[in-house]
Amino acid sequence: MPTGVIVSDDFRKHDPGKGHPESAERMGAVARAISSPDLASKLEIVSPKPAEKEHILLVHWERLYDEVVATRGKERTYLDSDTVASPATADVAHLAVGAVLTGIDRVMPGGEHKLENVFAFPRPPGHHAKPDKAMGFCFFNNVAVGAMYALKRYQLRRILVIDFDVHHGNGTQKAFYTSPEVLYLSTHQSPHYPGTGNINETGKDEGEGYTLNVPMPAGMGDREYLRVFRDVLVPVGLEYKPELILVSAGFDAHREDPLGGMELSSAGYVAITAEILGLAREACGGKAVFVLEGGYNLLALQGSIASVLGIMSGGSAEPAGDPGAAAEDLVKELRAVHGEYWTSLRKP
């Protein structure tokens, strides 16, 4: 069964301005990655359909929706200091959300169930967009809307969102902070933008325990990420038993990325992707939708995407080596904080 790739040339039409790191050139990196001779025969290219207003309002306030739509046709509109709309941005943002919905429909029974897993490549990215505010290059929260869409359309009760962008997905966390229907697991550099994602931010009310943040100091790399995934995120994910996994796949934790300070390599991304896919196979029949978030060094982005698609489409991962001892104190702290909620973390 091929891996689906959701992509469109229309994503290039969003133009936040010269010199902005979230540029249309990122789509060139995606195009080069998916056209690799080693991958082409293993991928099914799927065109996204734009999301409807009703889909976006599953997460976002109508006021924000109207603010984004009002930018249509205007040369430059600043919704935030670094979140800049161009004339086509409103339409492209609808298509970005739609890419995730299209991917979900292709992996879920009852939809167009022809693919086990999918990688959607929308821009603009989404995980910083709050229900009421565009920020951090993000207008609508692609993954959060996708999660709500899947809960409603497919009558799901448990969705796992894994976010390995170098920045904390504050918008996704806020959307589901009081809900047990979405378990949000995030690895991110800390301290770093946007300043959220503390280890003690665990959810609220019925959502208490269903947010698990892994704030990591700058300089951590492949072995430390693998340690966190193997010893914390995967065991919690298995205990949760999700019916669908959505991944906010940011490649700005790569050692070459200009906006981060982490040390992940393309091989490291393969290793944590292998962990996620193993979790998906065991918990929900392999149903996983990866969604592009950050990643601003074009060569690193291209190489990392190609490597991840290789493992998603049936390739084998190189042995990752021993998990990093440098993450030992972090893992102990995560167990101390979250062992109250997850039995898999109560014993080392």
Cis peptide before 191 (omega within 30 of 0): yes
Eight-state DSSP code of residue 20: -
Q: What is the pLDDT of residue 42?
A: 93
* Residue ranges of domains in the chain: 3-345
Judge residue 314's burial from the number of C-beta atoms within 10 Å of its C-beta, 0-12 exposed, 13-18 middle, 19 or more buried. Answer: exposed
Helix segments in the chain, DSSP class H: 25-34, 53-56, 62-69, 89-107, 142-153, 170-176, 222-228, 234-240, 266-284, 298-312, 328-338
pTM: 0.97
pLDDT bucket at 325, cuts 50 / 70 / 90? confident
Q: What is the pLDDT of residue 320?
A: 58
Among 36-40, 62-66, 292-296, the least confident range: 36-40
What gap in Å lies between CA 3 and CA 120, rounded to an integer?
11
What gap in Å lies between CA 15 and CA 24, rounded to an integer?
7
pLDDT digits 0-9 by tens, 94-133: 999 999 999 999 999 876 668 989 999 999 999 999 999 9
- Assess whether 113 carries a catalytic annotation: no
Residue 48 in contact with residue 99, Cβ under 8 Å?
yes
Least Cα distance to 345 among 198, 185, 191 occurs for: 185
What gap in Å lies between CA 261 and CA 217, rounded to an integer?
9
- Rounded to the nearest 5°, which phi and psi values hold at 336? -65, -40
pLDDT averaged over the chain?
96
* Active-site residue (options: 55, 60, 128, 338): 128
What gap in Å lies between CA 149 and CA 84, rounded to an integer?
26
pLDDT bucket at 65, cuts 50 / 70 / 90? very high
Residue whose pair of structure tokens reads 């976010």 in the numeric block: 163
Residue whose pair of structure tokens reads 């196979």 in the numeric block: 281
pLDDT digits 0-9 by tens, 6-29: 999 999 999 999 999 999 999 999
What is the signed CA dihedral for 266, 226, 171, 46, rounded to 10 degrees? 50
Beta bridge partners, 216, equal 189
DSSP letter for each residue of 295-326: ---HHHHHHHHHHHHHHHTTPPPPP--SPPGG
What gap in Å lies between CA 27 and CA 11, rounded to an integer?
7
Q: What is the pLDDT of residue 1?
A: 76
Looking at 3.10.450.40, 3.20.20.220, 3.40.800.20, 3.30.1540.10, the CATH number of the domain 3-345 comes to 3.40.800.20
Residue 315 scores a pLDDT above 90: no
In this structure, how many other beta carbons lie within 10 angstroms of the beta carbon of residue 191?
9
Instruction: Name the amino acid, one letter, at 270.
Output: V
**71-81 burial, b for 16+ CB within 10 Å, e for fewer?**
beeeeebebee
Q: What is the mean pLDDT of residues 58-79?
A: 98
Residue 194 in contact with residue 136, Cβ under 8 Å?
yes
Residue whose pair of structure tokens reads 């979790």 in the numeric block: 279
Judge residue 24's burial from the number of C-beta atoms within 10 Å of its C-beta, 0-12 exposed, 13-18 middle, 19 or more buried. Answer: middle
